[in-house]
Structures are given as structure tokens and as C-alpha cells.
Amino acid sequence: MKPTRAVIPLAGLASRLYPATKVIPKALLPVPGRDGSLRPAVDWIVREALASGVEEVVLIVSPRDGELIRSYFDEAPVAMLEGAARKRINDAWNELKPISQHLRYVYQLEPVGFGDAVLQCREVIGSEPFVLLLGDHLYKSSSPVPCVRQVLDMGTQFGKGVLGVTRRDESEIGQYGVVGVRLLPNQSSVFELTDMREKPSVSEARASLRIPGSQENKYICLFGIYLLPGHFMKYLQAAREQERGELDLSEALRCWIYTDGGFAYEVEGDFFDIGTPKNYCDTVDRFPQ
């Protein structure tokens, strides 16, 4: 399973970052990098996707924020600058400009959930597999291979959908989606998926989501990279028909796991969340290191 498209939902209200997000979309919050540059969060995520081999990145945006995000990628700098400043800005623009050729924009007119945002691009995706990335997660690999590419390589190897995962302590599982797994012979970082629960209670996790054979007080949690088949959209559509209001991804993920089956891959690396003020400050501090 080798996708040519990545999907990044960016249309949420970002209420936990208000009032900053009254004037700047969460996707455009600046994050410094190890190369000394200062780029919006969405720039880092798009670069990760393209470096991992996808050909097109679909940005799901709101009517308000979409034009600001478009202008970042599409608008050339002013031409009246002189000297060293002009060279710096033009060099940065010449590096950024080719990225816009790989972007497509889809609008979510109302902020009614992460799952609903993904559903807006069902016609773009069609029957092709795609990789879904979170709009508020930046990824940093601890190997020479980008985090997204690691998950895509597993999809190529196994020919099925793959969820990137990481281990977290029991005290943290109320913040994550947690998956149930079955061990595979001769594999230490790839598992067969059996279940998925969004932010489960400790008692629920202990009852059905323990890592088989492990004595550790840890669980396998979602990393924020989802390699999914195109027909995943039918599970989302079925969930949409049953749910009023906000639609998350969890019910569709469970249907996909129960019906199709897939794999979990323990990513070599870490992700950095910018979804709350504390997490954003931690990301600004730790992502460049």
C-alpha cells in the first residue's frame, strides 16, 4: 500500500490556544527548527510528508484561515527590499515556492470534528490509499528515515493500512487514542491491530488494551500518522450518518480494524504537539534540539 497523497486537517477552532488564534491560525504558529529557520507549524508538517515520498498534500482548511495559509505558500515577498535582507528573503522564498505546487486545498465550512474534516476530501481521495497527519503534530525521527516514511514503508511491506504508534505510561492514556494489538512472530515493533479506544479510562484499558505478555505499565498509543485505504471513507460516512454534531475518527477506525484489519508500527522518533499553550511552549523549546 503506497499512497500518493497526504491529508492534513487544519480547520479546527483551536479554542485552547485562544486568544492567540483570534489573529493567527494554529497552523501558522511559528516553530524554530534545527537548521536555524523559523517556520509555521504547517510548513514543517508538509515538508515531512513530501520528504516521505507523497506527491500531493491536501490541506483541509476553514474559510477564514484558508486564505492566510494559501498566502503563506503562494505569495511572493515584496520586491522593494535591498541588500542582505533582500537576499535572505528571496532565498527563503525560492526554497518555499516549489512546495506550493504539491498542495491542494479542501474547505471544511463548519468546524464539526476531525472525522468530518477528513470526510470533506473523499472525492479527492477516491479509492486510493492516503496518509492522514495531524495538523498540530510535528514529527522528529530518531533514525535517518522520516517518521512518516517509516509508516509508509510498513504499508508497502505488509500491503495493508498501518497506524503509527508509541508507548505511553498508564497515567497518560487519558490524553491519547489507545490501540489493542496482537503480537506477530519475529516482530518487536510491528503488531496486528485488534481494537482502538479514544482516551480510555484506566479500567477500560486494563480490561482490553494491555500489551500481550508485557509486564510494563505502558500502553500502545496513537502517534498521529495514519496510513489508510481509500475505502476508509465509507466507514467515516457511515459514522457521519449515525452521529449528529462533531464527528471524530474513532468509530471509523474501529470499523476499519474490525472489518479489514491492519497493523500498528512503533515509530522510531517522537512527535511534538502544539495544541495547548504548554505543549506549544514545550515544542518551541524541544523541537529544534
pLDDT at 139: 97
> What is the reported pLDDT for 216?
82
| Contact present, 17 and 70 (Cβ < 8 Å) | no
What pLDDT sits at residue 79?
67
Q: Where are the domains of the chain?
A: 5-286
5-286 placed in CATH 3.30.2040.10: no
- My answer on whether omega of the bond before 40 falls inside 30° of 0, hence cis, is no
Please name the residues in contact with 78: beta carbons below 8 A apart, sequence gap of 6 or more: none
Q: What is the pLDDT at residue 85?
A: 76
Q: How many angstroms separate the CA atoms of 192 and 183, rounded?
A: 6
Radius of gyration of the chain from its Cα atoms, rounded to whole angstroms: 19
Q: pLDDT by residue (tens digit) across 145-166?
A: 999 999 999 999 999 999 999 9
Q: What is the pTM of this model?
A: 0.95
Q: Using CA atoms, how far apart are residues 27 and 11, in angstroms rounded to an integer?
A: 9
Amino acid letter for position 177: G
Cβ contacts of 106 within 8 Å, gap of 6 or more: 58, 59, 60, 61, 120, 121, 124
43 near 103, Cβ under 8 Å?
Answer: no
Q: What is the pLDDT of residue 76?
A: 86
Predicted pLDDT at 80: 64
At 159 the pLDDT is 95
d(CA 180, CA 263): 10
User: What does the pLDDT look like over 214-266, one tens digit per residue?
Assistant: 878 899 999 999 999 999 999 999 999 987 888 999 999 999 999 999 999 99
pLDDT for residue 88: 84
Q: Would you give per-residue pLDDT tens digits along the chain (289 residues)?
A: 889 999 999 998 899 999 999 999 999 999 999 989 999 999 999 999 999 999 999 999 999 999 999 999 999 887 666 777 778 888 888 889 999 999 999 999 998 999 999 999 999 999 999 999 999 999 999 999 999 999 999 999 999 999 999 999 999 999 999 999 999 999 989 999 999 999 999 999 998 899 988 878 899 999 999 999 999 999 999 999 987 888 999 999 999 999 999 999 999 999 999 999 999 999 999 999 8
Strand pairing partners for 140?
A: 270
